[in-house]
Amino acid sequence: MVSWPHWLVTIIIVPLVGAVLTPVVGRGRPKVIPIWALGIMTATSLAALMLIIRVAQEGPFSYLVGGWARPYGIELHFDEFSASVGIICLVGWLALLFSYHYVAETIPARRVPYFYTLVLLNLTGMIGFVVTGDLFNLFVFLEILSLSAYALVAVSGEHIAEMAAFKYLVMGAVSSIVVLLSIGLLYSVTGSLNMADIASRLAGVEQRLPVMLALAGLAMSFMVKAALFPLHIWLPDAHSIAPSPVSAILSGLVVKVGVFGLLRVYQIFYGAGTYDLTGLNTALVWLGAISIVMGAFFAIFQEDIKMMLAYSTISNIGYIVMGLGLASQYSLIGATVHIFNHALIKGTLFLAAGAIIHKTGYRTLTDLRGVGKAMPVTCMAVSIGAISIVGIPPTAGFLCKWYIALGAFQAGKPAFGIALIFGALFIFIYYIRMVNSFYFQKPTHPEILEVGEAPLSMLIPILVLATLCLVMGILGRIPISFIEPAVIRMLGPFGG
Partner 1 sequence: MKKLLVTALLIVAGIPLLLMVAELPPYGSAENATYTHVSAHYLEHAVEDAGAENIVTDIILNYRGFDTNGEVTVIFTALAAVLAVLLLDRTPAAAGEESAPAPADEESTQPVSIVVSFIVRLLAPFIALFALYVILNGHATPGGGFQGGTILGALAIALTVVLGHKEAQRLLPEGLKPWLQAAAPLTFIVIGLAGLVSVGSYLEFPAVNGHVASAVATFFSNIGFPAAEGLSWVRAMWLLLLEFGIGIGGAAVIASIFWTMEAE
Which residue stretch of 47-55, 206-214, 339-347, 473-481 sits at the interface with partner 1 (rule: CB under 8 A)?
206-214
The answer to the question of residue 220 lying near partner 1 (CB under 8 A) is: no
The answer to the question of residue 4 lying near partner 1 (CB under 8 A) is: no
Cα angle vertex 336, ends 333, 342, to 5°? 125
- Number of amino acids touching partner 1 (CB under 8 A): 66
The answer to whether 375 and 383 have CB atoms below 8 angstroms apart is no
Closer of 105 and 450 to partner 1 (Cβ): 105
Q: Rounded CA gap, 47 and 89, in Å? A: 10
Closer of 12 and 371 to partner 1 (Cβ): 12
Residues 6+ apart with CB under 8 A from 268: 195, 198, 199, 202
Among positions 46, 162, 433, 439, the unique one binding partner 1 when judged by CB under 8 A: 162
Closer of 31 and 110 to partner 1 (Cβ): 110
Helix then strand then coil, % of the chain, to nearest 5: 80, 5, 20
Alpha-helix runs per DSSP H in 250-328 = 255-272, 278-300, 305-326
The answer to the question of residue 63 lying near partner 1 (CB under 8 A) is: yes
* Partner residues linked to 77 by β-bridges: 62
The answer to whether 226 and 256 have CB atoms below 8 angstroms apart is yes
Among positions 3, 170, 174, 191, the unique one binding partner 1 when judged by CB under 8 A: 191
Q: Nearest approach, Cβ of 134 to partner 1 (angstroms)?
A: 8
Q: Rounded CA gap, 318 and 423, in Å? A: 10
Residue 449 CA: distances (Å) to CA of 87, 389, 438, 452: 35, 27, 11, 8
Which residue stretch of 16-24, 316-324, 436-444, 475-483 sits at the interface with partner 1 (rule: CB under 8 A)?
16-24
Q: Could you give the string, one character per residue 89-118, with x where binding to partner 1 holds by CB under 8 A and - elsewhere?
A: -------------------xxxx--xx-xx
The answer to the question of residue 64 lying near partner 1 (CB under 8 A) is: yes
Among positions 88, 103, 126, 154, the unique one binding partner 1 when judged by CB under 8 A: 154
CB atoms within 10 A of CB 440: 10
Among positions 121, 131, 296, 332, the unique one binding partner 1 when judged by CB under 8 A: 121
Q: Rounded CA gap, 18 and 44, in Å? A: 10
Q: Dmax of the chain from CA atoms?
A: 71
Among positions 41, 51, 83, 185, the unique one binding partner 1 when judged by CB under 8 A: 185
Among positions 46, 53, 180, 213, the unique one binding partner 1 when judged by CB under 8 A: 213
Residues in touch with partner 1 (CB under 8 A): 5-6, 9, 13, 16-17, 19-21, 23-24, 27, 63-68, 71-74, 108-111, 114-115, 117-118, 121, 124, 128, 134, 136-137, 140-141, 143-144, 147-148, 150-152, 154-155, 157, 159, 162, 165, 185, 187-193, 201, 205, 207-210, 213
